[in-house]
Amino acid sequence: MVILLSEEKREESGVSLKVEDVMVKEVITIDENATVKEAAEVMNKFEIGCLIAIRKGKAMGIITERDLLKRVVADAKDANKTKVKDVMSSPLVVVEPTMDLEEAVKLMFQMKIKKLPVVDGKRLVGLISLTDIARFQPQMIRILKQLAMRQATPKSMKKVIDYYVV
| Residue 148 β-bridge partners | none
Between 164 and 74, name the one with better pLDDT. Answer: 74
Residue 11: predicted pLDDT:
43
Helices (H) and strands (E) in the chain, counts: 8, 7
d(CA 132, CA 14): 20
The H or E element that residue 160 is part of is: helix 155-164
Residue 119: predicted pLDDT:
94
- Angle at Cα 136 formed by Cα 101 and Cα 128, nearest 5°? 50
- CATH: 3.30.450.40, 3.10.580.10, 3.90.920.10, 2.40.50.140. Which one for 20-164? 3.10.580.10
Q: Tell me: pLDDT of 104 over 80.
A: yes
Residue 140: predicted pLDDT:
66
The secondary structure of residue 29, as a DSSP letter, is: E
Q: Tell me: pLDDT of 64 over 80.
A: yes
